Structure 1
Amino acid sequence: MSLVLILLAVVGFIVVATSRFKIHPFLTLILAAFIAAFAYGLPADQIAKTITGGFGGILGYIGLVIVLGTIIGVILEKSGAAITMADTVVKLLGKRFPTLTMSIIGYIVSIPVFCDSGFVILNSLKQSMAKRMAVSSVAMSVALATGLFATHTFVPPTPGPIAAAGNLALEDSLGLVILLGLVVSAVAALAGVLWANRFRAVEIAGDEPQTPEEVETQWRTMKASYGTLPTAGQAFAPIFVPILLICLGSIARFPTGPMGAGVVFETFSFLGQPLNALLIGLFLSLPLLKPGDRIAQFNEHIGKGIAAAAPILLITGAGGAFGAVLKATPIGEYLGTTLSALGVGIFMPFIVAAALKSAQGSSTVALVTTSAMVAPMLGDLGLATEMGRVLTVMAIGAGAMTVSHANDSFFWVVSQFSRMPVALAYRAHTAATLVQGITAIVLVYLLSLVLL
């Protein structure tokens, strides 16, 4: 029992330090690793070695993938590729299902672009579509936000899911994580659309009345600020080609050997490794650079991508350090056996991630911390198989979206850009993320009954 009390105390420290005292998650997780090491009685001469080994180990697996994915996202954002993606979806789906169309746009854009940035970029389109299709801007805002949020927490190369997969030793099975993540996130996004439709008649009091023509002009002005927009092929290629290659690489490595053992297998096995696939994606993003000094543009985007990736890398590495300490203690075996006896199983990582997300606000921190914490317990929870680990990532992702409220930057981006009063934002956006998280974990549980 003392083992559990120590773990609860350490988790409590993480929550209080990040949410109450606003200490950076990187430092919090490193301190938590030291506290856990001393509390569990690890040999003093092994503590630093364990922490640095865990820090370097996870970044060795996944660090470069996070950096490349972030750089691609910056290029797609700055070049206007996200605008092209949105326009392409609108042309394909038309105006018959406005909230569903808005959700699908968010679902696609948030795979390479952070959900906060995605909402800001697409806000003008959302307002324009709401006016053109005579739908409440509240409903359209919730549909866009939940579509963005779905892939943000489930689908690599978004950093959170990648880091969780790395912590759970799935770096060679990332294609499987992507495939299952696309399915689970699609259901979560649909749940968000259904919730958004509850607000189709809700208007925001005090909104300045704008004609559809005025809103359309704003959208066209924003598009014009990007200059010549890329084509649909140029916009989609840097993200969907790497995803396709990673998935094909995973298929090539199936035990049944569907691609044989010759040149085809070796080719897709090589190209399907996440680092190689994302490097190809980076090259495919080069046509998105504006005419002129492309080298200077490219270097600028790389610099911004590295700057954006740096805190994520530090948090990911610190999570790996924390997880390495827990792996060196008996808590994994003890807690795994206890929870298995209670029949908690796949719900355990969901509960931990949901508690961390709700307490400190960051989905990425919840994904990294929870995956590091549960990694030593997977064997005793009956989740140590490849599919068990993939489903664990999905369960953690479901928890990491439950719920987005006042301590989450995304909550304020959605509410402020949509001009929603805070009370309405809680009813519309926060409740939507709760519905999404519960829907996702129910689906993950049903999948575990079939796949495990």
Structure 2
Amino acid sequence: MIDLLILIALVAAIVLVTARWKISPFLALLGAALLGTFLYRIPLEESVSTVTQAFGNTLGNIGLVIIFGTMIGVILERSGAAIAMADVIIKLIGQRFPNLTMTLIGYIVSIPVFCDSGYVILNSLRKAITARAGISALATSTALMTGLFATHNLVPPTPGPLAAAEELDVTSELGLIIPLGLLVSLVAAMAALLFASRLSHKEFAALPAEREDDIEVQDYEALRASYGKLPHPALAFLPIGLPLVLICLGSIAQLPGEPFGTGAFTDALVFLGTPVIALILGLIAAVFLVSGGDRLKRFNEDITEAIRVAAPILLITGAGAAFGAVLNASPLTDFLAENIADLGLGLLVPFLIAAALKSAQGSSTVAIVTGSALIAPLLSSLGLDSTEGAVLAVLAVGSGSMMVSHANDSFFWVVSQLSRIPVGTAYKTLTTATAIQGATAFATVWLLSLVML
């Protein structure tokens, strides 16, 4: 119980110093991580390495993805390509439904792509649609975040649910897990969309824009006219569409059934589908959007600007991972898992275990992987030892891994910082939205269990 109180105190301290005293989230998270190593009695010889390794590993895993994605985003904004994309999508779906647009885009994109990467890639499009529709960035940010978050946690071949299927020995049932995951995640995304739509006209004190020409601080029509002739929609979508298609194909190629067979072709798909490689190719495609005189100079200016914009996001993301690693190394996760597992509540057990792990250490993927490993030996006692029971357990763990995104989750910081949402406001909107969709997802899984078990 003391360990749980320490977690609550650390999270409260992060919110206090960032929201009230405007301390940098990077310093707040790093300070909480270092303080946590002492409060949780992590051996001194391991304390620093726990923090630094998590920081370095996280930046190693998604650092280049954030940088290249930000480069693509800056070029899309400055070339007018983001405006061209927004026009096309709104013409297809209608100007009345910008939040639905962002939810559906996120829902599709995050099946093969990590939600952090997906948000970075799609943020420029979100900003353009926000300006085009004239609504609050809170609404479109929440809609995109939760659309991405839904399939990220529930639909293979995203690594988390795929690992859970492997841990619970139902990899051969991916043909059942994927459609059920799509259904559950769609219901969860729609529930979060209803919440996001309530924010469409909610004003908030946004963090300062990184640039004076930021899309969200200008009138849309004046902004559109300032670009003159916009890029062709096909060229505008290519820097985003190309990496997404490559990542999707690379993920499919690695499925257990080997749908593309083996050999050089499959190896090439896997290589090109690596997020870093796919985004480099997307950046190359974005080069063709740079127009006007001295294109090389303009390109270099865009790249320099992108690096400046990405730097604070990288630091905050790494510090958030360090905080999560300290919590994961503490006795807290074992305490929560053991006490919840003893309650004997069927499908509610995998959901609560994953929710506790997610809230404690931040990473949804870690929560799914660890949660599924913890419940694997408990399936029989929980009445979930049938094929259908194990499949539903995978989905229950995925639902729990959404509960909830807050200060120790890198995705929380990626979304809040890119969308210029203050920490206090992000807790009221982003964190609340993930709680809604996690609870809705589990309710859907429970209803499915009434039919399947």
TM-score range relative to shorter protein: 0.5 to 0.7
Pair 1:125-2:123 in alignment: no
Residue 255 of structure 1 and its aligned partner are, at CA, apart by: 1.8
Secondary structure at 1:230's aligned position in 2? Answer: coil
Pair 1:303-2:304 in alignment: yes
Distance 1:372 1:189, change over 3 A: closer
Pair 1:346-2:351 in alignment: yes
Whole-angstrom distance in 1 between the partners of 2:66 and 2:439: 26
Moved more, 333-342 or 393-402: 393-402
* Alignment coverage as a number of residue pairs: 383
Whole-angstrom distance in 2 between the partners of 1:179 and 1:66: 30
Report the equivalent of 1:132. none
What's the CA shift string for 1:113-168, capped at 9, x where partnerless? 688866664455325xxxxxxxxx79xx8875654454475689xxxxxxxx9999
Distance 1:188 1:35, change over 3 A: same
Distance 1:300 1:60, change over 3 A: same
Report the equivalent of 1:104. 101
Pair 1:267-2:268 in alignment: yes
Residue 295 of structure 1 and its aligned partner are, at CA, apart by: 1.5
What is the percent sequence identity of the aligned residues? 36
Residue 291 of structure 1 and its aligned partner are, at CA, apart by: 2.2
Residue 234 of structure 1 and its aligned partner are, at CA, apart by: 0.9
TM-score after normalising by structure 1 = 0.66
Q: In the alignment, residue 292 of structure 1 is paired with which amino acid?
A: G
Residue 63 of structure 1 and its aligned partner are, at CA, apart by: 1.0
Residue 375 of structure 1 and its aligned partner are, at CA, apart by: 7.9
Report the equivalent of 2:59. 59
Secondary structure at 2:288's aligned position in 1? Answer: helix
Write out aligned runs for 1:40-119 (5 A): 40-93=40-93, 98-100=95-97, 103-104=100-101, 108=105
Whole-angstrom distance in 2 between the partners of 1:248 and 1:239: 15
Report the equivalent of 2:226. 225
Distance 1:99 1:265, change over 3 A: same
Report the equivalent of 1:378. 371
Distance 1:106 1:50, change over 3 A: closer
TM-score after normalising by structure 2 = 0.66
Whole-angstrom distance in 1 between the partners of 2:327 and 2:195: 39
* Runs of at least 5 residues in structure 2 that lack an aligned partner in the other structure: 110-117, 153-157, 167-173, 204-218, 378-389
Whole-angstrom distance in 2 between the partners of 1:45 and 1:433: 34
Secondary structure at 1:321's aligned position in 2? Answer: helix
Distance 1:99 1:348, change over 3 A: farther
Contact 1:168–1:371 (CA under 8 A) maintained in structure 2: no
Secondary structure at 1:310's aligned position in 2? Answer: helix
Q: In the alignment, residue 264 of structure 1 is paired with which amino acid?
A: F
Write out aligned runs for 1:37-436 (5 A): 37-93=37-93, 98-100=95-97, 103-104=100-101, 108=105, 121-122=128-129, 125-127=132-134, 147-151=143-147, 190-191=190-191, 220-342=221-343, 343=348, 345-346=350-351, 369=362, 371=364, 374=367, 378=371, 382=375, 399-400=404-405
* Runs of at least 5 residues in structure 1 that lack an aligned partner in the other structure: 128-136, 157-164, 205-217, 357-367, 415-424
Residue 49 of structure 1 and its aligned partner are, at CA, apart by: 2.1
What's the CA shift string for 1:46-102, capped at 9, x where partnerless? 222222122111111111111111111111122111211122124334x5xx42366
What's the CA shift string for 1:15-68, capped at 9, x where partnerless? 333233332221122112222211222222222222212211111111111111
Distance 1:256 1:299, change over 3 A: same
Residue 331 of structure 1 and its aligned partner are, at CA, apart by: 2.5
Distance 1:397 1:269, change over 3 A: same
Contact 2:191–2:436 (CA under 8 A) maintained in structure 1: no
Residue 436 of structure 2 is aligned with which of 435, 438, 442?
438
Contact 2:33–2:322 (CA under 8 A) maintained in structure 1: yes
The Cα RMSD (Å) is 5.0
Whole-angstrom distance in 1 between the partners of 2:406 and 2:45: 39
Contact 2:30–2:322 (CA under 8 A) maintained in structure 1: yes
Report the equivalent of 2:216. none
Q: In the alignment, residue 338 of structure 2 is paired with which amino acid?
A: T
Distance 1:301 1:119, change over 3 A: same
Whole-angstrom distance in 1 between the partners of 2:188 and 2:16: 29
Secondary structure at 1:290's aligned position in 2? Answer: coil
Distance 1:275 1:383, change over 3 A: farther
Report the equivalent of 2:28. 28
Moved more, 254-263 or 106-115: 106-115
Distance 1:118 1:352, change over 3 A: farther
Whole-angstrom distance in 1 between the partners of 2:238 and 2:376: 35
Residue 445 of structure 1 and its aligned partner are, at CA, apart by: 5.8
What's the CA shift string for 1:364-416, capped at 9, x where partnerless? xxxx94559958953565499999999877755574499x9xxx7899989xx
Whole-angstrom distance in 1 between the partners of 2:374 and 2:324: 17
Whole-angstrom distance in 1 between the partners of 2:265 and 2:394: 28
Whole-angstrom distance in 2 between the partners of 1:388 and 1:256: 22
Distance 1:63 1:302, change over 3 A: same
Q: In the alignment, residue 333 of structure 1 is paired with which amino acid?
A: D
Whole-angstrom distance in 1 between the partners of 2:322 and 2:42: 14
Residue 297 of structure 1 and its aligned partner are, at CA, apart by: 1.5
Q: In the alignment, residue 322 of structure 1 is paired with which amino acid?
A: F
Contact 2:126–2:141 (CA under 8 A) maintained in structure 1: yes
Whole-angstrom distance in 2 between the partners of 1:437 and 1:285: 36
